[in-house]
Amino acid sequence: MNQPQHVAIIMDGNGRWASGRGMPRYHGHRVGAESAREIVRTAGELKLKALTLYTLSGDNFKRSKRELGFIFALLDHYLLRERQELQKNGVCLRVIGSIERLPPKTQSMLQETEAYLQAGKGMVLSIALDYHGRSEISAACQRVAELVATGAMQANEITDATVANQLQTVALPELDLLIRTGGEQRISNFLLWQLAYAELYFTPTLWPDFRAADFLVALEAFGKCERRFGLEQVSMTTGSP
Ligand code: IPE
Ligand code: IPE
Ligand code: MG
């Protein structure tokens, strides 16, 4: 079966999972963190090259201080608790987006954990925090404009690769598969450039319920896709064009 190298996930539905049970939203985040742990472990075991998790969007900063505080505390807890196992499994951790608006404790926890896992030669786990796909592209454009302004390149030499080289995902393989849980069929400003040829998998399952078996179903669906990258269909047996 065709296995993706790079999978990204929009982990949505924590709030609805909790309110459906008459519980406060934070409970959904707590159980959702367990799903994240299980999916990271499974992805590592399957030897995926890269897993990118949409953990907090730039727009999520509009949520209440209380909810955000809970999410950051949960992140601190997991970074500390999972470090050793991630290291044992050769996982390398990176943050995409920005840590500037995060509480100082979470910022240092992320920096320490990135340093701790820096030598990992296995899967690259990217956590998107305060991430904003359009801003990632406009920041890349600014840096390309600087290259042109300083004479390092000419405007007519700018290619797709020039822009891609300025994105935070530069070191990662092409994105093969995007999974979104929680039933919405939208991208919510995630990896806009990188999604160019990715397969999209939407499931109504809410993130706290999305576990290893559900992940395998998504990977299986990917395995059945014929990716054409603009070429003609090759699996038809009906002869001439
Ligand atoms: C995703 O779940 C987690 C974050 C955005 C932090 P939500 O909190 O968006 O859950 P719903 O979509 O309201 O159910
Ligand atoms: C997307 O979920 C962001 C994350 C899962 C981190 P949202 O719940 O914020 O997205 P919208 O608001 O439904 O588009
Ligand atoms: Mg949501």
DSSP state of 238: S
Q: Which of 9, 11, 12 to mutate to test the pocket of ligand 1 (most atoms within 8 A of CB)?
A: 12
- Position 19: which residue type? S
In the predicted model, residues of the chain with pLDDT beneath 50 are: none
Task: State the Cα–Cα distance between residues 83 and 71, nearest whole angstrom.
Answer: 18
What is the structure's pLDDT at 97? Answer: 98
Q: Is the CB of 55 under 6 A from ligand 2?
A: yes
What is the structure's pLDDT at 221? Answer: 96
What is the structure's pLDDT at 228? Answer: 86
- In sequence order, what DSSP letters do the residues of 116-157 get, joined into one string? HTTT--S-EEEEEEEE-HHHHHHHHHHHHHHHHHTTSS-GGG
Ligand 1 centroid distance, CA of 55 (Å): 9
Q: Is the CB of 56 under 6 A from ligand 2?
A: yes
What is the structure's pLDDT at 237? Answer: 53
What is the structure's pLDDT at 27? Answer: 98
Q: Is 209 a catalytic residue?
A: no
Q: Which residue has the tokens 């995926």?
A: 48
Output the pTM of the full model.
Answer: 0.95
What residues are neighbours of ligand 3 (ion), with CB under 5 Å? 12
The DSSP bridge partners found for residue 92 are: 124
Task: State the Cα–Cα distance between residues 93 and 118, nearest whole angstrom.
Answer: 7
**Residue 221 three-state SS:** helix
Q: Which of 14, 52, 57 to mutate to test the pocket of ligand 2 (most atoms within 8 A of CB)?
A: 57
Q: Is 214 a catalytic residue?
A: no
The DSSP bridge partners found for residue 50 are: 6, 124
Task: State the Cα–Cα distance between residues 213 and 35, nearest whole angstrom.
Answer: 11
Residue tagged active-site, from 2, 12, 14, 76: 12
What is the structure's pLDDT at 238? Answer: 53
Ligand 3 centroid distance, CA of 193 (Å): 22
What is the structure's pLDDT at 61? Answer: 97
- Nearest Cα residue to 124 out of 136, 112, 114, 139: 114
The CA-to-CA distance between both ends of the chain, in Å, stands at 28
Dihedral angle of Cα 185, 140, 36, 217, to the nearest 10 degrees: 50
Task: State the Cα–Cα distance between residues 41 and 37, nearest whole angstrom.
Answer: 6
Scored b (16 or more CB within 10 A) or e, 142-170 reads: eebeebeeeeeeeeeeeeeeeeeebbbbe
CB contact at 8 A, 109 and 75: yes
Q: Is the CB of 76 under 6 A from ligand 2?
A: no
